[in-house]
Structure 1
Amino acid sequence: MTARLVNLAAVACTAALLWAGSSAAQTFSDAFAGFGSNSAEPIEIEATELQVEDKTNSATFVGDVVVSQGDTQLKTQRLRVFYDGQPGGNVQQQISRLEAQGRVFISAKDQTATGDQASFDMNRQVMVMTGREVVLSQGPNVVVGNKLTVDLKTGKADLEAPSSGRVRVLIQPNSVGNGQ
C-alpha cells in the first residue's frame, strides 16, 4: 500500500514550515514552474552532444546536460526536448515537454529537488519527478519520497512513498522566519 501525502498545502504545518516560511516566500511550484513557461526568459541548454530529430519534433541532449532559465537550473545526463509545430517549419516553435533521465538535479534560489527522472509537460503545466529517492529541500528542511507530482498552475504537490516505505520530512527548528 502506498503512503501518500495528498496535498502538501493540506498538511498546513509541514508545508508552511518547509515551503512558505513567510507570506512573501516563494513556493516550490513557483520556483520550479517549468522551463518554457516564462517566455520572457531565454532557455539555455549545454551538453556534450545534440541529436535533432525533425520527424518527431524532438531533440536529445546527452552528456552533462545543463539547462538554465532565469533562476532555475536543471542538470542531468540525458534530456529530450519535444516541441510543437511542423517539422522544419516555424523557427518560433514552443517546447511542449522535457524528459530528463540520469540523476536529475533541479535548483531555484534556495530550493532543490533530486531524482532519477523528471518530466515537464508545458501544455498541462505538470512536473513529475521519480526515483529511488526523490529529495526536496529548502535550506535545512528536507522531504523525501519516490514520486513527486506538481501541478504548476495550482501549486498542488503530491509526494508518494515507496510501496514498502513512508514519506519522510525533516524540519529544522528555527529555520522558518529567519530568512532561510
Structure 2
Amino acid sequence: MKLFRFAVVATGLMLAGLAPASAQTFSNAFAGFGSNDAEPIQIEAESLEVQDKSNSATFTGNVVVSQGESQLKTQNLVVFYAGSAAGNVQQSISRLEARGRVYISSKDQTATGDEASFDMDRQIMVMTGDKVVLSQGENVVVGNKLTVNLKTGKADLQAPSTGRVKVLIQPRSVQGN
C-alpha cells in the first residue's frame, strides 16, 4: 500500500507543473515540473512518512525533486491527496506544501523563499518568506510574497509591509545581448 501511495505522490508532483509565469523578464521562471510528461520525476529525501488517515505523505531532510532541467529543493515536502487513488491518479493530489528554504530552478531561472504551497484544485502557487527572490540570469526581483496562477501564468509579487518590491534588470538582457 505504501508503494502505491508513493506512486500517487510522484504523480502529484508531476501535476504541480509549474506553468509559465507572465512576467516580462521571468516568462519561464515556473516552467518545469509536469511540462514534459516524457521526463521522469526523481525524488530524494532522508525520509518518507505516509499517513493514510490524513491522506498525506511527508518527505523530510534535504528533499530534492528533479524533472529534466527543473529542480525543487526544500527541507520538508508534504503532499496531500484527496479520496481514493482509484480512477485517474493525477487528480487525487489536492495540495503540496514545501517548508524550509524552498528553491525552484529551471535553466537560468530560480525562485527562492521560506515556504511554498501549491493548491492543485485552484491551480495557485504561493511562495512566501522574509525575502522571495526571482532571478533569471543577472535580472532579479525581490519581495516577500509571490502568487502565481498556474493556469493563466499571472504572477503577483508583493512587498513587505515596511518595504518595497525591488527589481534589477540588466540593460544587455533587455536588448537581447
Q: TM-score w.r.t. structure 1 length?
A: 0.77
Per-residue deviation, residues 69-123 of structure 1 (Å, max 9, x unmatched): 233210000000112332xx54963332210000000001111000000011222
2:66 partner amino acid: S
Q: Distance in 2 between matches of 1:37 and 1:59?
A: 23
Q: Is the 8 A contact 2:144 2:158 kept in 1?
A: yes
Distance 1:66 1:106 in 2: 10
Residue 7 of structure 2 corresponds to none
Q: Structure 1 residues 40 and 58, CA, compared in 2 at 3 Å: closer, same or farther?
A: farther
The alignment of Structure 1 onto Structure 2 pairs a total of residues equal to 155
User: Which one of 71, 74, 77 corresponds to residue 76 of structure 1?
Assistant: 74
Change in Cα spacing, 1:47 to 1:85, as seen in structure 2 (3 Å) is same
TM-score (norm 2): 0.78
Q: Structure with the greater relative contact order (CA < 8 A, sep ≥ 6): 1 or 2?
A: 1
Report the CA distance between 1:37 and its aligned residue.
Answer: 6.8
| Aligned with residue 129 of structure 2, among 131, 138, 144 | 131
Distance 1:39 1:123, change over 3 A: farther
Equivalent residue runs for 1:154-173 within 5 Å: 154-173=152-171
Amino acid at match of 2:29: F
> 2: CA distance between counterparts of 1:71 and 1:177?
26
Alpha-carbon RMSD across the aligned residues, in angstroms, is: 2.3
Shift of 1:28: 2.8
Could you tell me which runs of 5 or more consecutive residues in structure 2 were left unpaired when the two chains were aligned: 1-20
1:37·1:122 contact (CA, 8 Å) conserved in 2? no
Deviation for aligned residue 1:44: 2.0
User: In the TM superposition, what is the alpha-carbon distance from 1:51 to its structure 2 partner?
Assistant: 0.6
Question: Residue 28 of structure 1: SS of its match in structure 2?
Answer: coil
Distance in 2 (CA, whole Å) between partners of 1:72 and 1:60 is 21
Q: Distance in 2 between matches of 1:69 and 1:142?
A: 24
What is aligned with 1:60? 58
Q: Measure, in 2, the Cα distance between the counterparts of 1:145 and 1:103.
A: 15
* Contact in 2 for aligned 1:79/1:98 (Cα 8 Å): yes
Aligned equivalents of 2:38, 2:79: Cα separation in 1: 19
